[in-house]
């Protein structure tokens, strides 16, 4: 899900998408992506839903202002996002938020980075039951 907080224009780098590319067996060549992709243009507040496997990329912002958007993805707990929010935000942040926010941010479904993290008693495991 892409939420356009600011207007998305060609000048401020509106996102490129290549229709149907989420079904392709391999990434498209850069020249094909540039030639055949479409721009997601819209006023602030617009929302676009698409499969995140669809090839997409930010355009070049040639203005002197930023273009702000929110990107949200929803997936099963074992499918990880590009950003590891629990490690980025840290355990102190995780300790301050509600159990529901901890779950939504992935604090209850973290991927172990070592055998020590993997072999923990059930109460201290990084992946808690019933996460998806």
What pLDDT, on a 0 to 100 scale, did the predictor assign at position 131? 65
Q: Are residues 44 and 90 in the same domain?
A: no
Q: Are residues 34 and 66 in the same domain?
A: yes
Q: Tens digit of pLDDT for each residue in 25-39?
A: 999 999 999 999 999
Contact 14, 59 (CB under 8 A): yes
Q: Of all helices (H) and strands (E), which one includes residue 38?
A: strand 38-39
Q: Are residues 52 and 95 in the same domain?
A: no
What pLDDT, on a 0 to 100 scale, did the predictor assign at position 126? 76
Q: Tens digit of pLDDT for each residue in 47-63?
A: 999 998 999 999 999 99
pTM of the prediction? 0.63
What pLDDT, on a 0 to 100 scale, did the predictor assign at position 79? 73
Domain presence at residue 132: no
Domain presence at residue 94: yes
What pLDDT, on a 0 to 100 scale, did the predictor assign at position 110? 79
Please give the tally of structural domains in the chain: 2
pLDDT of residue 5 exceeding 90, the answer is: yes
Q: Are residues 46 and 92 in the same domain?
A: no
Q: Are residues 48 and 89 in the same domain?
A: no
Q: Tens digit of pLDDT for each residue in 66-114?
A: 999 998 887 776 777 777 889 999 999 999 999 989 888 888 887 788 8
Domain presence at residue 80: no
Enumerate the β-bridge partners of residue 38. 17
Domain presence at residue 79: no
Q: Are residues 53 and 111 in the same domain?
A: no
Question: What residues make up the domain containing 2?
Answer: 1-74
The pLDDT-based confidence of 15 (bands split at 50, 70, 90) is: very high
Return mean pLDDT, the chain. 90
Q: Are residues 68 and 95 in the same domain?
A: no
Q: Of all helices (H) and strands (E), which one includes residue 47?
A: strand 47-48
């Amino acid at each position: 899900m892409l939420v356009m907080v600011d207007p998305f224009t060609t000048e401020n780098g509106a996102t490129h998408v290549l229709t149907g590319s989420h079904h392709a067996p391999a990434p498209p060549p850069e020249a094909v992506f540039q030639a055949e992709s479409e721009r997601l243009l819209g006023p602030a507040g617009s929302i676009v839903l698409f499969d995140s496997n669809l090839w997409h990329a930010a355009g070049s912002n040639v203005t002197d202002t930023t273009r702000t958007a929110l990107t949200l993805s929803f997936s099963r707990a074992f499918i990880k996002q590009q950003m590891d929010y629990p490690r980025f935000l840290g355990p102190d942040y995780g300790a301050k938020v509600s159990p529901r926010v901890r779950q939504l941010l992935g604090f209850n479904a973290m991927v172990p980075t070592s055998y020590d993290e993997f072999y923990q008693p059930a109460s201290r495991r990084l992946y808690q039951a019933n996460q998806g």
